[in-house]
Amino acid sequence: MILTSIWNLIYIIQRSLFYNNHGYKYMHRNVRQQNNISINYFESMDQFEETYRTFLHSFLKNYLSISNSRNISLNYCPPIPPDLRGPLTVNEVPIDFSLRMNSSYHHDVKFGGYYQPKTCVARHKVAIIVPYRDRREILRHFLFHTHQILQRQQLDYRIYVCEQAFNKTFNKGIVMNSCFKEILKFQPDTPCFIMHDVDLLLIDDRNMYTCPTFPRHLSVAIDKFRFYLPYTSLVGGVLGMKYFPDKRGFSVFYLAMRREHYLLVNGYSTEYWGWGGEDDDMYARIISKELKVERPPASIARYKMLKHTHQKLNPARMKFLRTAQTRINSDGVNNVKYHLLSTSFYHLYTHFLIDVGEAPK
C-alpha cells in the first residue's frame, strides 16, 4: 500500500510537471523539437507510464484477489450453527419493511439478497429459487422471515425471486428451469438449489437448507395439512437439489453435467400450465433416474402456509402425469423456451423477470 501511494505521488507530480491544457501530444511535439535529451526523457516517460500501469494493474489484481478471498484466514463455520433457536413463531411484517428499498431489518444482507457469514467460512453455498407472480404481501412476509433464518444457519446464500411476467397462465416448470439456467450464467459455481414456494414459512430453523446427497424434500409438515405429509410422493413446497459444477465451466453445461440431480432429471416438465401436477411429475423423474427423496424428520421440517388466492386449476394435469416418465428427456431444462426480460438487484433479492410464453390453445 505504502509503495503504491509513493508511486502514485511520483506519477501525479510527473503529470503535473509535463502535462498542460494542450494535453500530452502537444507537449511531446514541442519538447521533441527542442533537443534530443528531451526525446529520451519522454521515451523514458512512456516507459514510466507503462511500468506504472503494469504495477498498478498487478497491484489491483492482487488486492482484489486478497479482498475477495477474505475468508481464507477464517475457519469453517461449526457443523451445527450455534445460534439456531428451534421452533419459531411467525412475526407480523413491520409496516416500514419495504420490499424494494434498502431494508434496515436485514442490514447484514448484501445487495441482491446475498449473505455470507462474517466470522467463519460457510460450509454450504445455496441458491434459493422462489417462483413468483403477483403476491406482493406474501413475498414481503417470506423475505422478512426467511432471511433471518438463513443467516442463523450460517449459509452462503442468495435469494432469487423468479417472476413470471404478464398476467397469463402460470407455468412453474418453465419459471424454475429458466431461473436455474440464469443462475448458472450468473454464478456458475452454485452447488445447491432450494426450490421454495413463496407462501411457505419455515417455523423451525433446525431444518437446514443445505446441499443434500439426494434430492431432499424439506416441507414435510405443513400447518395446512395438520403437520402430516399428505402423500409420500409429494415433493412440492420446498425441494433441495444438489448441483456439481464442472471445473470447465458453463460451456459444458449440457454435456458434462448430466450426473447431477437437476440436469439428470432434466429439471421440471414445462407442460403444466396452471395449478397442480408439476411437482408430482418431478417425483416421477427423480424415481425413474434411480434417485431417492430424502426427508428431514417431520418434527423439525415444519412450515406455516400463508393464505392466498389459488391459481387456476390445470384440467390437463392428470393427462400429463400419466406420461411423465416418457417425456423426461424431451421436456425440461434442456429445451425450455423463455425470454429473460430483466435482471434487477434489490436489497433482499435478485430478481429475474421471465416471459414464459403462452399456454397452447
Under the binding rule (CB under 6 A), the answer on residue 215 touching ligand NGS is no
Cβ 101 vs Cβ 338: under 8 Å: no
Nearer to ligand NGS, 277 or 332 (CB): 277
Q: How far apart are CA 51 and CA 175, in angstroms?
A: 50
Tell me the closest approach of the beta carbon of residue 321 to ligand NGS, in angstroms. Answer: 6
Tell me the closest approach of the beta carbon of residue 283 to ligand NGS, in angstroms. Answer: 10
Q: How far apart are CA 49 and CA 19, in angstroms?
A: 13
Length of the chain: 361
Side-chain half-sphere exposure of 64, counting CA atoms within 13 A: 5
Nearer to ligand NGS, 317 or 351 (CB): 317
Q: How many residues bind ligand NGS (CB under 6 A)?
A: 7
Q: How far apart are CA 292 and CA 275, in angstroms?
A: 25
Nearer to ligand NGS, 316 or 353 (CB): 316
Nearer to ligand NGS, 156 or 281 (CB): 281
Tell me the closest approach of the beta carbon of residue 173 to ligand NGS, in angstroms. Answer: 11
Tell me the closest approach of the beta carbon of residue 226 to ligand NGS, in angstroms. Answer: 12
Q: How far apart are CA 340 and CA 350, in angstroms?
A: 13
Nearer to ligand NGS, 301 or 348 (CB): 301
Report residue 252 as a C-alpha cell: 459444458
Pick the closest to residue 182 from 315, 341, 359 (CA basis).
341
Tell me the closest approach of the beta carbon of residue 314 to ligand NGS, in angstroms. Answer: 8
Nearer to ligand NGS, 148 or 311 (CB): 311
- Taking CB under 6 A as the rule, which mask of x and - marks residues 180-199 in contact with ligand NGS? --------------------
Tell me the closest approach of the beta carbon of residue 278 to ligand NGS, in angstroms. Answer: 7
Exposed/middle/buried for residue 154 (C-beta within 10 Å: 0-12, 13-18, 19+): buried
Under the binding rule (CB under 6 A), the answer on residue 317 touching ligand NGS is yes
Determine the number of helices (DSSP H) and then strands (DSSP E) in the chain.
Answer: 8, 11
Q: Which of residues 231-290 bind ligand NGS (CB under 6 A)?
A: 236, 276-277, 279-280
Report residue 1 as a C-alpha cell: 500500500
Interface residues with ligand NGS (CB under 6 A)? 236, 276-277, 279-280, 317, 321
